[in-house]
Amino acid sequence: MTNLTLVSRNRSFGGWQFVYRHYSAVLNCEMNFGVYLPPQAEKQPCPTLYWLSGLTCTEQNFINKAGSQQFAAEYGLIVVAPDTSPRGCNIPGEDDSWDLGTGAGFYLNATQMPWAKHYRMYDYVVSELPEVISANFSVVPGVQGIFGHSMGGYGAIAIALKNPGMFKSVSAFAPIVNPCQVPWGQKAFQNYLGDNQSDWLAYDPIHLVKSAQERLPILIDQGDADQFLGEQLQPDVFAQACAEVNYPISLRKQAGYDHSYYFIASFMGDHFAHHAAALTKG
């Protein structure tokens, strides 16, 4: 292993759940990420699936609560789960609220000070982290998918739409798909990107889907008892935007489910099947 420090390792479903720490040149700080290596990885390169977590989360929420390891082992997928923001950068205000700063990187490249020096999670997820994974683990080159939850579901969809050809599959749980029009997105975009709302559109899935250069099918699961459904998430608005440009989307409303990892774990198997269908062809 080059430039990685082992934080933890746990045997799981015949494979290994690791957490590593490394210095991120993009973010100018130390970062943790989880990586699950399925048993198949001991004998051959495997496809990679990236998970992006939601507000307040670290890499630990997903690897401890989602139940992903059993499905990663079943399908032979390496699963990478980064942290959600830079940490400990001594930025004024970084710990003042739970939906901005620490734990709330929003998977974009901040242009406004004091955030711009560190908060470049878009470049970290799109460029630096995949380079680290490719250099240190046996992956199938160019065969990767991306999914996430809430802020991370937004990040997964936006990143897939902005990078045609980079991913072969994409899905999300309860994503923030209308960020320019909801409080979470507006707060993040204004602080990280500034007051010019035209700059926000570069990270807005509803805007990005209108000019999408490929038709990568999106699977979205949304609990109908989610406390953030109406004010913050608004999946029906995104589904309508997709319909207007004939973009393939499957939006599933799950009765009685909320925004928690109880919901995520309940449908994790379906999402792995969705990704495996695209990542393990042939």
Catalytic residue among 22, 118, 259, 275: 259
Per-residue pLDDT of the chain (282 residues; tens, 9 = 90+): 568 999 999 999 999 999 999 999 999 999 999 999 999 999 999 999 999 999 999 999 999 999 999 999 999 999 999 999 999 999 999 999 999 999 999 999 999 999 999 999 999 999 999 999 999 999 999 999 999 999 999 999 999 999 999 999 999 999 999 999 999 999 999 999 999 999 999 999 999 999 999 999 999 999 999 999 999 999 999 999 999 999 999 999 999 999 999 999 999 999 999 999 999 975
Residue spans of alpha helices (H) in 125-249: 129-136, 151-162, 183-193, 197-200, 205-210, 235-244
22 is catalytic: no
Print the domain residue range for 27. Answer: 5-280
Instruction: Considering only the C-alpha atoms of the chain, give the largest distance between any 2 of them, rounded to a whole number of Å.
Output: 51
β-bridge mates for residue 5, sequence order: 21
Give Cβ neighbours of residue 67 (< 8 Å, ≥ 6 apart).
265, 268
Give Cβ neighbours of residue 54 (< 8 Å, ≥ 6 apart).
84, 148, 149, 150, 151, 152, 153
Instruction: Provide the CATH number for the domain around residue 244.
Output: 3.40.50.1820
β-bridge mates for residue 15, sequence order: 12
Looking at the structure of the chain, the number of domains it has is 1
Tokens 């409303």 sit on residue: 253
Catalytic residue among 24, 150, 169, 171: 150
How far apart, in whole angstroms, are the C-alpha atoms of residue 185 and residue 157?
A: 14
Q: Which amino acid is at 83?
A: D
Contact 186, 179 (CB under 8 A): yes
271 is catalytic: no
Instruction: Output the CA–CA distances (angstroms, integers) from residue 193 to 128, 156, 217, in the order listed.
Output: 21, 19, 29
- At 1 the pLDDT is 52
Per-residue model confidence as pLDDT tens digits over 142-194: 999 999 999 999 999 999 999 999 999 999 999 999 999 999 999 999 999 99
Give the predicted TM-score (pTM) of the model.
0.97
Catalytic residue among 68, 226, 271, 274: 226
146 by Cβ neighbours in 10 Å (0-12 / 13-18 / 19+) ranks as: buried
226 is catalytic: yes
